[in-house]
Copies of this chain bind each other. A is one copy, B any other.
């Protein structure tokens, strides 16, 4: 539900419209379910606006395929065929670009994450997408594989009107500070507490 009442109006010299239309950096963090699903729900809104959607999944195995991927690839094909919505690109660690395909050492994974980020940074400079989903990108940041200060600078300096949503636990402080919106998914209750394991359609 859109909510129309800002809690403060800053003396930044911008009109409400200018301020309204600034691109956002959104961060979904916390221990609980909902970080990635909320990012993909948001991407549905962007797709409907006709934005180019770029999804970049970190950490996940190239073999691992979530239901969202199939659905978004279908929406991307629909755009190609009918012009409805926007185009969709979906990239995973372990496939595409220059991601390492082999089960490698930690240094291999770190290098692959850095190459992945370098590609995203190139796309940001080129204004390639309207919305970027950097799924589970907090982990390579948390592990020190990708430099947080470099990411914050690239987000701050990105041209045009590109929204970026980043998901994952252990978000570094500098990323929280740089984000416009930060949601923490917190646990009230989880089926795991009652001995129930994850199941298809719910967890993937």
Using CB atoms and an 8 Å cutoff, list the residues of chain A in contact with chain B: 1-10, 12, 16, 19-22, 24, 26-30, 32-34, 36-42, 44-49, 51, 59-60, 66-68, 70-72, 74-75, 78, 84-85, 130-131, 136, 163, 176, 179-204
Contact = CB atoms under 8 A, between A and B. Distances in A.
Contacts of A200: 45, 49
Given A47-B67, A49-B67, A190 B181 contact: yes
A55 to B, nearest CB: 12
11 contacts: A1-B60, A6-B193, A6-B196, A37-B38, A40-B40, A44-B71, A45-B202, A45-B203, A70-B85, A130-B201, A185-B185
Contact of A1 (B19, B136, B183): B136
A195 B6 contact: yes
Given A71-B47, A204-B2, A10 B194 contact: yes
A186 B59 CA distance: 25
B10 A195 contact: yes
Most buried by B among A44, A180, A193: A44
Contacts of A184: 32, 185-188
B194 A8 contact: yes
A44 to B, nearest CB: 4
B68 A195 contact: no
Tell me the number of copies of this protein. Answer: 2
A84 B73 CA distance: 12
7 nearest A-B pairs in the assembled complex, by CB-CB distance: A37-B41, A48-B67, A45-B67, A182-B188, A34-B38, A2-B198, A38-B38
A175 to B, nearest CB: 11
A46 B202 CA distance: 7
A22 B131 contact: no
Contact of A201 (B22, B45, B190, B201): B45
A30 B47 CA distance: 26
A134 to B, nearest CB: 15
A45 B202 CA distance: 7
